[in-house]
Chains A and B, each alone.
Chain A
Amino acid sequence: MTRLDLVIVGAGPAGLRASVEAAAVGLSVMLVDEGREPGGQVYRGSESGAFAGTAKLGSDYAAGAVLAAAFRASGVEALFGATVIQIEREADGSFCVSVATGHDKAVVVRARAVIAATGAQERPFPIDGWTLPGVMTAGAAQTMLKADGVVPDGPVVLAGTGPLLYLLAAQYGALGVAIDTLLDTAAPGNWRRALPHVPGFLTSRYAFKGLGLLGKALAATRIIRGVEAVSAIGDTRLSAVTYRKGATERTIPAHVLLLHHGVVPQINLTWSTGAQHRWNAARLAFEPVRDASGKTDVPGLFIAGDSGGIGGAQAAEAEGALAAFGVLRMLRGTAGDDDPIEGRWRHRLAVSLRGRAFLDALYAPRQSHLSPPDDVIVCRCEEVTAGDIRKAVRRGAMGPNQVKAFTRAGMGPCQSRMCGLTTVAIIAEETGLSPGDIGHMRLRAPVKPVTVAQIASLSEADERRTTESPSATRPRK
């Protein structure tokens, strides 16, 4: 049975750069991703999307095509359209990675090290009516734009907080797509809390980019700041949005409502692998604990990019490179980081991360939006409301695992991705404990739903390592 040096999970900037650097130093590498081509979410469609090869979505997005090309040139074997089921650490210290590859097929890949680069997802913004068709996330709308060149038609409202909301508004503005209203729900004190971080922000690339963004978005859109509550109205699909600001409550017609509440790491894979995670109070998210090279407390498991903590695409790419060097050091037993290339990536990472603290503070969500009113559905899969969760806590469920057993929150196909953080926020509010003390509900394999047939095929798959896969494709012409 062949054993690889390294399996990389995720083909966004971190995973692609890690692949390129690891291949360059001679490691045997396999990359696994759910998507159909390199890019992940941030560079989605870089190879074959509606704006591939153009600068219409900005120079940051155009960088994705360069990275995707470097990846294709690296010769790293990739499984696209493939879902990691489980990563187990064996007694000999190596990893056994179970991957669903086809309709009823799966492979087992063995490797000495793993880099998890599973990226970010949007923080849930649970509001009344957010399960109605027509209500989507800003990220979803941006993905439709990048991958398919498709934009909302008819009255569209953006609501929430976070840079992506304004980036999307600016991208729509540049393409001549009208947005009716942008409801900014950031807490009013955010500016004051962000002030200490201004010096760092001013030396960052966001300062220039951010101001330009805001200018573009402001010019084209009606922006209402200080919005305290948003709800989606409709019977079988969205027809209107109601918002409240102070004593004023207004209802505006809408066919599309795009919600955004910032982005948080996707931790299902890293948590299920047993790595230690801790609560980041500034970013209001759980993050895996890792060192400067992305190394975790699970020997051989490295984490790069936004899945380790939100830093954006450029930081992710640098972390991908650093993780590849970390893996090399571990496997070859070399010490120190005297490699000049590694030093350059370290510098790039530091520059990329400037200004993040300012953005985190400026766009922090309101407490009342993290822990919504009783009627609001928190767990979309099992249709569990905030009130159900509060009732469970009052009955003595002091943590998310017991709440899950009492309410079924987190038991559906999304595996708590849509309700985990909200559940913790509600428990924190009810008990007065900090989210760090409460913890996240336990995340287990399968990391994504896979068929019974795929799991069954793992026993045969284990006997041989499949090196050729129908999904390992070259870019489409």
Chain B
Amino acid sequence: MSLAPERSGNDCDVAVIGGGVVGLSLAYGLAKTGLAVTILDEGDIAHRASRGNFGLVWVQGKGLDNPDYARWSLASARAWPFFAAEIEAATDTALSYEQRGGLMASLTEDDLDTRCNDLRRLHNRGQDCADFERLDAGGMKRLLPAIGPDVVGGTFCPHDGHVNALRLFNALHAAAASLGAIYRPNATVEAIDRLPDGFSITGATGEIRAGKVVLAAGLGNARLGPMVGIHAPVRPQRGQILVTEKLAHFLDYPLGTIRQTDEGGVMIGDSKEEVGFDNGTRHDVLAGIAANAIRIFPLLAQAQVVRSWGALRVMTPDGYPIYERSVTHPGAYLVTCHSGVTLAAVHASHVAGMIGSGDWLPDLTPFAAGRFADVPSPG
């Protein structure tokens, strides 16, 4: 069954492989340019960083050693208000996006000094790098009245914000669908083959033919990339997250590791563990996360944790994204990153535009996959 308009013998203009926030942002952006898009996704059980992420739209501290990435993150954060308004209007969904700035709390002077030195070094690399402000304990208390006495200070970055990540995920599905994009779940891809005017993509639900193919399959890109001649050695990096019951609003700003959602629940998280594909939780790691949260906000001690999970970040060897177009398979693209929420705005606009038009602009050249040519595939 072909669900999309027939064009040059293909089922669709572009097939996006991956139905997470990255794939959906691209699919939405591509559909907005008038292309017929089909999204091929896995089923109910999949690694799905999009179901486990923290919901920050964040630039503070990003790209300390990579000004291109710092600029790219900031560009997306600046585009986010427009992106959010557009998605909300298209889907009648409140994303609860807020960009009032975000904070990092320090429990020692050394940590605060290091953080400030890093941010200053980045800031001094030129315009278009994120502003920040150093706050002492009193400054933190003014912004965060619930902060605990162990916090010696912190940093504030006005570009940071947060969003209801699950509603974003849901709304991106709806927004892409509203522009005619077809969503196919349970469609794990097994092979991608070149055709004279596009690609044949075969998998769990049969074959579809597409003019272009975009790999946005998260950790699956390591397996899929070579099918179109792109080496993308991504690996999982686990982060564990605790979520509390819904509480009365007490937190006006998100912190890098603690935020209160619009619904009232507090998310606490951010471990970084190299444990392969194990997305479970460990009591000792959760204990450390919980203890740290109590030092920052003592009132959290009595909050009840209703859920916890481990989610797998999609990490490249240097931690920065890959944006690549295939040389061997023209018309095939690969996009991968661990900050799919922050970068959603530029994915839906710039990157989708470049893939749609085929004009690869210099913004993306620092993120080419070639930098990992010497890195073996994981596993």
A-B contact count (CB 8 A): 125
Q: Which residue of B lies closest to A408 (CB)?
A: B166
Tell me which residues across on chain B come within 8 A of A350, comparing CB atoms: none
Whether the Cβ atoms of B309 and A446 lie closer than 8 Å is no
B288 on the A face (CB < 8 A): yes
Whether the Cβ atoms of A452 and B185 lie closer than 8 Å is no
Interface residues contributed by chain B, number (CB under 8 Å)? 44
Q: Which of A398, A438, A445, A453 touches B308 (beta carbons < 8 Å)?
A: A445
User: When A405-B51, A415-B307 are in contact, do A462 and B43 touch as well, CB less than 8 Å?
Assistant: no
User: When A398-B186, A456-B294, A459-B288 are in contact, do A415 and B283 touch as well, CB less than 8 Å?
Assistant: no
User: When A444-B309, A445-B308, A451-B305 are in contact, do A399 and B291 touch as well, CB less than 8 Å?
Assistant: no
B242 on the A face (CB < 8 A): yes
Whether the Cβ atoms of A88 and B282 lie closer than 8 Å is yes
Interface of B is mostly: mixed
B372 on the A face (CB < 8 A): no
User: When A411-B307, A413-B304, A455-B242 are in contact, do A395 and B286 touch as well, CB less than 8 Å?
Assistant: no
User: When A88-B283, A455-B287 are in contact, do A446 and B308 touch as well, CB less than 8 Å?
Assistant: yes
Contact with A along B264-306 (1 / 0, CB 8 A): 0000100000000000111110111011011000001111111
User: When A88-B283, A398-B185, A408-B166 are in contact, do A456 and B290 touch as well, CB less than 8 Å?
Assistant: yes
Q: Kindly state the separation between the CA atoms of A397 and B173 in the bound complex, as whole angstroms.
A: 10
Whether the Cβ atoms of A401 and B281 lie closer than 8 Å is no
Q: Which of B44, B284, B301, B309 touches A462 (beta carbons < 8 Å)?
A: B284
A458 on the B face (CB < 8 A): yes
B244 on the A face (CB < 8 A): yes
Give chain A interface residues in 77-125, CB to chain B under 8 Å. 85-86, 88, 96, 98, 104, 108
Tell me which residues across on chain B come within 8 A of A98, comparing CB atoms: 283
Q: Which residue of A lies closest to B300 (CB)?
A: A452
Whether the Cβ atoms of B45 and A401 lie closer than 8 Å is yes
Whether the Cβ atoms of A396 and B287 lie closer than 8 Å is no
B192 on the A face (CB < 8 A): no
Whether the Cβ atoms of A396 and B185 lie closer than 8 Å is yes
B6 on the A face (CB < 8 A): no
B72 on the A face (CB < 8 A): no
A457 on the B face (CB < 8 A): yes
B28 on the A face (CB < 8 A): no
B113 on the A face (CB < 8 A): no
B320 on the A face (CB < 8 A): no
* Interface-centre pick from A88, A108, A395, A453 (highest chain B CB count, 10 A): A453
Within the complex, the shortest CB–CB distance from B204 to chain A, in Å, comes to 12
B83 on the A face (CB < 8 A): no
Whether the Cβ atoms of B185 and A108 lie closer than 8 Å is no
Contact with A along B305-316 (1 / 0, CB 8 A): 111110000000
User: When A449-B305, A451-B304 are in contact, do A459 and B44 touch as well, CB less than 8 Å?
Assistant: no
Q: Which residue of B lies closest to A86 (CB)?
A: B283
Whether the Cβ atoms of B44 and A398 lie closer than 8 Å is yes
A279 on the B face (CB < 8 A): no
User: When A396-B185, A413-B245, A452-B268 are in contact, do A439 and B306 touch as well, CB less than 8 Å?
Assistant: no
Within the complex, the shortest CB–CB distance from A393 to chain B, in Å, comes to 10
A400 on the B face (CB < 8 A): yes
Q: Kindly state the separation between the CA atoms of A454 and B362 in the bound complex, as whole angstroms.
A: 51
Whether the Cβ atoms of B304 and A449 lie closer than 8 Å is yes
Q: Kindly state the separation between the CA atoms of A457 and B286 in the bound complex, as whole angstroms.
A: 10
User: When A396-B173, A453-B302, A455-B286 are in contact, do A401 and B307 touch as well, CB less than 8 Å?
Assistant: no
Tell me which residues across on chain A come within 8 A of B291, comparing CB atoms: 456, 459
Whether the Cβ atoms of B306 and A399 lie closer than 8 Å is no
Q: Which residue of A lies closest to B186 (CB)?
A: A398
Can you list 21 A-B contacts with CB-CB less than 8 angstroms, sorted by A residue number? A88-B283, A108-B283, A395-B183, A399-B43, A399-B44, A405-B170, A413-B306, A415-B307, A444-B281, A449-B305, A449-B306, A450-B304, A451-B301, A451-B305, A452-B290, A452-B293, A452-B300, A455-B286, A456-B287, A459-B284, A459-B287
Assuming A395-B183, A453-B290, what are 14 further A-B pairs, CB within 8 angstroms?
A85-B283, A96-B283, A104-B301, A396-B183, A401-B51, A413-B306, A449-B306, A452-B242, A452-B302, A452-B304, A452-B305, A455-B283, A456-B301, A458-B283
